[in-house]
Structure 1
Amino acid sequence: MLARNLRLRHKKDYKTVFAQGKSFSNRYVVFYIMEGTSKYGFIASKKVGNAVQRNRAKRLMREVIRRNLSQLKPNLEIICIARANLKGVSYGEVENSCLNTLKKARVIN
């Protein structure tokens, strides 16, 4: 699990990243990235599915970030938003597409 001090937890933090951050997207996830403290937020709307599917989508995205935390540049605030296509996809596919998008965003060292 991603440590509590590494998570975006307040609505104002999310609003700031949405307003000032740049967006990068792929088939499964949309990323909003902004300079700031090293914090990460995860969102899955009802378009993704029922509560079980939304929670699974957030767990997949959290795990991708957690496993690759050492490769990510420090002092970035990143919000990961699950798309409806994420429903029923394996972890490997999600990880590959997320890492490719983060490389395009020049977030990975």
Structure 2
Amino acid sequence: MNKHQRIKKSQEFQRVFKKGKSFANRQFIIYVYRTGQPEFRIGLSVSKKIGNAVTRNRIKRYIRQVFLEMKEEVRQDADYVIIARKQAADLDFHETKKSLQHVLKIARVLRKK
């Protein structure tokens, strides 16, 4: 993920929370805000309640890799904020990918292959 594909500023997160729609499953909550920009951006939120720094960074790495692999399938004109829930700490990469695909299907932001 390039730096311009990440949401970092608090006001950008707040805009997605206020104006976007949320979708969830047991492991993740995703906020989607359609902006009309040429590339999607993602913001990650992994609370200290989930685990130590190693666990939190592993979850963020997995999420970024899933979005990298699904770049062509994910709707491009939106901002996504992904919040990891406690159950996400127990997932390996493939389970994380499956869970994120599930919640993205619920949000209807995946294109057909």
Partner of 1:12: 11
Query: Which residue type is aligned with residue 87 of structure 2?
Result: N
Unaligned runs of 5+ in 1: none
State the shift of 1:73 in Å.
1.1
State the shift of 1:90 in Å.
1.0
Identity %: 32
Deviations 1:40-81 (A, max 9, x none): 111100111111111111111111111101111111000011
- TM-score, normalised to structure 1's length? 0.94
Runs of 4 or more above 2 Å deviation: none
Matched, 1:75 2:77: yes
Aligned pairs for 1:1-109 (under 5 A) are: 2-36=1-35, 37=37, 38-109=40-111
Query: Which residue type is aligned with residue 64 of structure 1?
Result: V
Provide the alpha-carbon RMSD of the alignment.
0.9
- TM-score, normalised to structure 2's length? 0.91
